[in-house]
Amino acid sequence: MMLQIKNIHKSFGKNQILKGVDVQIQKGDVTVILGPSGSGKTTFLRCINFLERADEGEIKVDNIETSFNKARKKDILAIRKKTAFVFQNYSLFNNKTALGNVTEGLVVGRKIPKAKAIEIGKQALDKVGLSDKYDAYPSQLSGGQQQRVGIARAIAVNPDIILFDEPTSALDPELVGEVLEVMRTLANEGKTMLVVTHEMSFARDVANKVIFMDDGVIVEEGTPDEIFAAPKEVRTQQFLKRILRD
C-alpha cells in the first residue's frame, strides 16, 4: 500500500468540509477524484500534504504512519518528502529559474549535491518537453509551460505519490492538452498519481480508479468503466450528466 487515509475529517469554522473519507492507493495507481466544486476534493488533497491540518483521521504513506491531529513537524516533513504536489495555479517559485524550481527541493530539502541535482533537474525538464527553458523564469513562460515545470518539480524528487490539484483548471483551453499529455506519459510509466480534475477524458482514458466525492464524503468509487458507463448512485448520475453535456 502506497497511501492509506482513514476517516479523515476537516472543518473550517462551522463548515464541515470532509466528513470521514477513506482512500487506499496502491503503487502505480492513477486515481482521479471527481466531484462538484465545494465537495471537498481539493481540501482532501491538501490535507494529505498537510497544507491544511485535518481535524481527525489517520494517514499512512509508505512506512510512515501517523494521525492527522497528532502528526509532529518531523512526520509532516517526512510525508512531504515522500509526496509531491502540483498546484492549480502552478505556484512556481517566482525568484527561481525553471531549473532552480526543480532543484530546490533536491538541494535544500534533500541535501543532494548540487551537480547531481542539476542533472536530475535537467532530466525532469527534458521529460516535460522543456529542454530549451532551463534558465527561463516563470514570468517568461506560458501557463502550460509553467505547469509543466510544476510537474517536473514534482517528479524530480522521485516521490512515492504525486498529488495533482486541478492542474489544468487555470490554463487557457489550448494549453490544457500539453499538460494532460505529460500526465498521460507519467501514468504510462507507472507513476502513482492522485488527481483532482474536471478533465473527464483523462479520468476515462488514463485512470484505473475513479472516486466521486460530494458534500465531504465519497459517494461512489470504481473503475472508470463502472463510474462512467453505469454509475449506481443518483448523485453521480446527475453530476456526470451535467458535466458530460458540456
Q: How far is the CB of 119 from other proteins (least distance, A)?
A: 18
Name which of 69 and 140 has its Cβ closer to other proteins.
140
Interatomic CA distance for residues 189 and 102, integer angstroms = 20
User: 93 vs 228, which CB is nearer to other proteins?
Assistant: 93
What's the first-to-final CA gap in the chain, in angstroms?
Answer: 37
- Which is nearer to other proteins, 23 or 163 (by Cβ)? 163
Q: Are 39 and 213 in contact (CB under 8 A)?
A: yes
Shortest Å, Cβ 149 to other proteins: 11
Binding site for other proteins (CB under 8 A): 49-51, 77, 80-81, 83-85, 87, 89, 91-97, 104-105, 108-110, 137-142, 153, 157
Nearer to other proteins, 93 or 134 (CB): 93
DSSP of 173-224: HHHHHHHHHHHHHHHHTT--EEEE---HHHHHHT-SEEEEEETTEEEEEE-H
Q: How far is the CB of 66 from other proteins (least distance, A)?
A: 16
**Residue closer to other proteins, measured from CB, 110 or 241:** 110
Q: Which of 213, 224, 193, 192 lies closest to 20 in space, CA to CA?
A: 213
- Alpha-carbon distance of 65 to 63, in angstroms, equals 6
Minimum distance of other proteins from residue 80's CB (angstroms)? 5
| Smallest distance from other proteins to CB 99, Å | 13
The answer to whether the beta carbons of residues 88 and 164 sit under 8 Å apart is no
**Number of other CB atoms surrounding residue 18 within 10 Å:** 26
